[in-house]
Structure formats: structure tokens, C-alpha cells
Structure 1
Amino acid sequence: MGAAQATDTPDRTVPTPSPRWVRPAGGPPAPTALPVTLEEIERARETLRGIAELSPLQHSRALSRAVGTDVHLKCENLQRAGSFKVRGAYVRMAQLSEEERGRGVVAASAGNHAQGVALAAAKLGIRARIFMPHGVALPKLQATRDHGAEVVLHGSTVDESLAEAQRWATETGAVFIPPFDDPAVIAGQGTVGLEILDVLPDVDTVIMGIGGGGLIAGTAVALKEAARRRGRTVRVIGVQAATAAAFPGSLEEGRVQVLESVSTIADGIAVGRPGALPLRIAAELVDAVVTVTDDEIAAALVHLLERSKLVVEPAGAVGVAALLAGRTADLGFELGTTAVILSGGNIDPMLMLKSIQAGLSAAGRYMTVRIPLRDRPGELATISRIIADTDANVVRVDHTRVGPDLSMGGVHITIDMETRGTEHSAQVLEALRAAGYSPAPLP
């Protein structure tokens, strides 16, 4: 695995993401002047006083037991507007001149950046126009409007909304507020790192999700430089969704790799093109980037809801997913005292419902099986009795009598049931097979 320093080499489009990147044993490249400094992040913190909440850093006994190290959760899901994004948006907009403020601001987003810009604009008394794609989750759309921004639906993707926002900025003179590829935005996001060090000065490792890279870039500068001045070392680990992981390959090659497509439940980090500035900072300061699957993210959401009583969006749960899935266990260094940034909590209720079911399924606590039967009295009662004898709980039964894959006199029943884990699920399947049935688990 290489550790090529990010350069100005042209971007390269790739069909599939790389699974992970770990800095080689030789350490970071020779230091260069970074586009964001610790002093700028400290000034950003002053700018944010009275605007951004000091989000809690709470110890997680359940996670600490599960991974065998001390784990703390930085709860940016409880931040104003529901995520860390208000930090960078406000810092960037606070630097605008009076003339620029009079022109208004414009941004494009399907969620957290939109709400962050809308709230920051309201606090500064600046007109804001936010372009969002058609089909954006209704709660995110309404929350953005509730902060006072004008919302314009345009295009079917964030990229199409972004192009329209940039066109609008050029046409009207409104100031475009980028989501991550901007020094002031990065400095604002970096204040999360300073807050972690204030509460947990002996932290050894900080883990967080990566989309475009603004959060990890700013936080890495804050953590690494502040710790260095105290004579300490802090590791920084990024986590991406496996199907939207543009950073590992980009860090490997030392230039931006653009993914042909991205698809993940973690819509907040579904970014196919890393920011150039965040990539440059990550190449010097980040220690590893790992990936997690959507099922692992869903399992982490359930864990946080059940064990920590926290509602977190999928993008905010990827750090916990990496810990629970063992992605941080073989990176060549011990985690030590660890902080995980829960970057946001803006989750659509319908997505939460689906994610909970997916998380329970991944943990073996919810199972759907299809069973072919002869169409005769008593078969369903027999199967119900077998399942009851295993102490599984039937939630739903669907009885299919007609279909292209059914023989004459045959039916299918599909049963949803609650189980106590993967071992219990296997026992239920074995009991059905022992009785002569052929249950087929469904995804």
C-alpha cells in the first residue's frame, strides 16, 4: 500500500472503490504547508461561540466491552440542525463582507449541508437559496425551509442540483457555499477535534465518517497539531461506505479518484469525488481509511439506538460500524482510548424503519423465510407449532397460492419472525427441515 502525497494530477474516474488504505510503516510524507492551520481552527471556535453547541462526549460501556478498549461517542447528532455541518457553514459565511452578504448565499445539498447553511444564514441575517434534488426526504426539505431558506427543487441528483446552484451563483452574484472543499469550511469542522481534546486530552484514536472529507481534514489538523504541541500522538481513522469509498484509492494514487457511481444507505457520505483540499490534508495526516457495508451500518444504528439511546443517521454511524465489524483490529496499531464522531442524526423515519429491520436481520434477530407446501388443511398450523416450539415469534405470514413458480396443488408461505440471534435462527431452520420442510431464508 502506497502513501503517495496528493498532487494536482488530473482526476481519474474508476468503476469500483478500493476497500481500504493504511499509511505504510514509514510514516507520513515530508510535511508541507497545509491549507488549514491550527490557529485558523482556534479562531473558528471563537467565531462559533454561541452558535454551535458543545456536543456531549459520552463514554460507551457497551462499545467498550464489545471492542475491548475505552470508547467515547462525540454526539454531533445532537448538534444544532442535527449535524456538524453548521460549524463550517457558519465560519465560511461569517467571513463574508457586507457587500457579499447583501448578494445572498447559495448552496446545493440533499440534507445536512442544506440545513447547516440555512441555519447559519438565519443567524447572520443573510438570504439563502438552497437547491435540492427532487425526491429529497421530506423531513430534510421541511427542516431546511423551517430555518428560513428558500428551497428550490432541481434535478434528480445532488450533482444536478450543484450545477444549477453554481449557475445561479454566476448569474446573480450570490456567494456559493461549498460543502467541504474550502479552507474556512474545513476550519469550522475542525472545531470538533478541539472539543474532543478539551474533554478527553489523553485520547489515542479518533474515528469518523468521510464523505467529501471536510470533517476529517479539519479534525485531523486540530488533533494532530494540538497533540504534537503537547508531546503526544493521536491516530485518525476515516470510515467510508464500501460502495461509496473514493478516498482509499485516491490516497493510494495521490490524486482524486472519481467513482462512476455510488449507492449506500449512508446518504450523508455518498460522495463519489473527494475534495481536493481534504485529500491533500488526509494524505499527510490521516492514518487509515476503512470501509463498511450497508448491513454493518444498519447493525450499528440498532446498537446505538438500543445500547446508547441515540438516534443517529447512517452516515453518522459508520465509525461505530467499523468498530463492531472489526475493521479497526488489524491496522498495525492499538486503538487505545478512542473517540468516535457521530456526525449527524438527521434520519428519515421511513429509512430508520428499514435500517432497524436490516440491522436486526444482520444480527440474526429478524428472519424472513419462504416455505413451499402442499395446499392442504393443517400445514400452516403445523409450521406455526414448530416455530412456536423453538421460541421464535411470528410477526407476519403471507400465503401465496398463485404464481409462475408454483406447481399444481402447491403454495408458498412467507413468514417474518423475531429470533434471538444467528444461532437461534439456525435452530429454527433446522427444526423446520427436520420436519420435512424446505425453508429458504430471504434477504
Structure 2
Amino acid sequence: MEKQKQHENAILAVRDVPKPLQWVTLSLQHLFAMFGATVLVPFLVHLDPGVALVSSGLSTLAYIVITKGRIPAYLGSSFAFISPILAVKAFGGPEAAMMGSFLVGLVYGVVALLIKTTGLSWLMKIMPPIVVGPVIIVIGLGLSRTAINNAMNDPLTQHYSLAHFTVALVTLGATILCMMYLKGIFSIIPILIGIITGYCYAMSQGMVDLSKVAAAHFFSMPHFLIPYVDYSPSITGSVALIMMPVAIVTIAEHLGHQLVLSKVVGQNFIEQPGLHRSILGDGAGIVIGSLIGGPPVTTYGENIGVLAITRVFSVFVIGGAAVAAILFGFSGKITALISSVPTAVMGGVSILLFGIIASSGLRMLIDNKVDFGNKRNLVIASVILVTGIGGAALHFTKTLELSGMALSTVLGVTLNLILPGREAAAPSLLETEAKKRSVAS
């Protein structure tokens, strides 16, 4: 009955093709919803935003093909990989980060194959909410220093600047006001509106240099980073240990998005076309990005929000947004404009954004009713939080180490598997969702 009701309320169903003008308008809505967050990630990890847009569009199109055009999901730059990419770039450069991303995509492929052949139960055992929730908190709080440094410091001197911090606070304030008070489609793009507001204020303070924007061509080739063309690919143990464990968290995030998307659209995407296909599509997107120099991608909650508000579920609209993102990526003017945004603006919006990431981990623990009166849960969460935020590291050799979020993830998974009382400690994500559906019906 719920499925029927959802479809009766849909303006466009998943396989419906919109009219041309409607198609363009609806696709641009999705483009604006993902734009702010998708370009923020390459800005923070010093990758080409144009490549990130192209990667986002190509990844989304690949995802649509792999899922047989049955899941209206958009893939944008993943914030979970900011810290790992920065860590890898510090000793191996952007080339090493791309090879690490490639490995993550392969992990997605292996997980998809295992789900296809063995089901979901093993996945739920290694990533219950008591592991995933604290790791998500670590992702958000671990990035807090980056956000504050960008917000408070002059990028040229790396010293405290009241002027730059004021720009950050204006950006933060505008973003918060948009989230709290704007309605409809505008409530879905507070990041973009906040960046625009902060940019205009920074311009009034003389912090914006538009000379490169004026000199840029409307159409230009992004700075792709292609293996065997721009560099000789190689993978080290440190790169693998830093990047690959993050897949545990992002796959759990992917599962959560699929559950929410299934509710919004009124179809069970976990069963049809299947979680294995959606995870494979996500992994294929990460591989595509790694082969052209873009950051890893993930399905975007912002675009799920657009689906919920507009009740337009057409996968063709999502595909249109992907094509538009690719075209934007080849615009020199747009890439130069993104690059001209002061770090203080990005720092201001990052304060809220990284805090929301951490808070979403806390929300996962609350929604799944994780009992911290249970010593097992208390131990797992405590170890993950302190080792992850504190930056603990295992140095195996001079070039091989497991540190930060990756180490905390491995420790959390290990403790969850070896400590007694796993079944009674907390339900899995799917068990919680099943209870919610039962109560709703």
C-alpha cells in the first residue's frame, strides 16, 4: 500500500522522460544542490574543481547504467576521503592519492560481488552502528582543524587574521540562516547560497582577485591526471592502509542513503535492482575519478532531498544534471571562478559542514538506540573516538603506516568482531530499518 501511495504522489516516476524545458530546469536544480559540496572537496584537497565536476558527472552516468536506470541517485565528491587524501598527498603527491582511490573502487567491487553471492549478513556484522557511528564522528571532528585554519588564518602568512575570520563568520551565518529559514528548493542548497554570500562579502573587503577569471576561456580542458600519460602509477602499502579502510564507512553511508532513497521513491532498491548493483555503481564512479584525477565520489543526500521536495524521481533528470556537470567542468570561466573563492569562505562553510558530518554519526547512534550502558559499546566507541581524533598511528616501516581514521576504523571493526555479546549489544542498520517499517505499517 505504501509503495502505491508513493507512486500516486510522484510527479515523474523513475523511468518517466520529462519534457525538454522541464528536463533542463529540473536537472539544473540537482546541479545546484550538489555543486557547493562537490567543488568544496577538491578545493580543500587541492585538486582541480573542473576535474571533480567532470568526474562527478561521468560517475553518475556510469552509476545509472550499472543500476539499469532504476535508481535516481547523484554521485558527488565524498567528504569522508578528505583526511586520507591529504595524508597520502603529504608523502606521495596527488598521483598516490589517485592510486589509493583506485584501490577503494576495487574494494567496492569486491564487496558488491560478495553481496551478490552471499547476501548482506556478513556486511552487517562488520559494520554495525556502534562502529560506523563513531567513525563518522571521527571524520567530521578530524577535519575541524582544517576548517578553523582556513577560517581564521591569512592563506599567505598562515597567521591569524580578523578580516578573514569575519568573512568566515559571515559565510557561516548566511549558511545557517538558509538552513533554518528558507523553504522549498532553497532549503536544499544552503552551502551554495552561503558560499555566494561569503564570496560577495569577501569581494567587498578586497579579498577576491578576478583577474584569472577575466583571462580564462569559456571552454578549456581541465587538468586531468591520467596514469601512464601524466605519471607512472605505483601503489605502496601505506597508501593502501590509509585509503582502503575508509571504504567500510562509505559503504555504510551508501547503505543508509539507499534505505532513505527507497523510502522517498517508494521502491525497495536494496532488493531491486539490488544493493550489489548500487555499490558496484558507486565503486565504478570512484575508479573513473581516480583515472582522471578526481576525488572519490558517493551518493548525495542533498539530491535525495531534492527528490523528496519535488517528487520528481526521473532518472533522466539525474542524468541531465550529470551532463550539465561535465559541461561545467570544461568551462575555464567556472573553474577560475571557483578557484578565486577565498579560503576563509570555504573555512566558514566547512565549520558547519564538518560539524554536521560529526553530528550525523551521533544521530546514527541515537536512531539505532545504541546502549552506552553496555560496556562493549562503550569500549568500542571510546577506542574509535580517541585513536581517530587523536591521530594515533602504527608505523610498520619508514614508509608503511596505519594512522588516524583508518586505524580507528580497523580497531573498531576488530573489537566488534572479537568482544563478546555482539548480538545483544546493538541492532544492525537493516534490523533498525525493519522495525521502523513495521511501526509505520
**How does the TM-score come out when normalised to structure 2?**
0.27
Q: Which of the pair is proportionally richer in strand?
A: 1
Higher relative contact order structure (alpha carbons within 8 Å, sequence separation ≥ 6): 2
Highest Rg: 1 or 2? 1
**How does the TM-score come out when normalised to structure 1?**
0.27
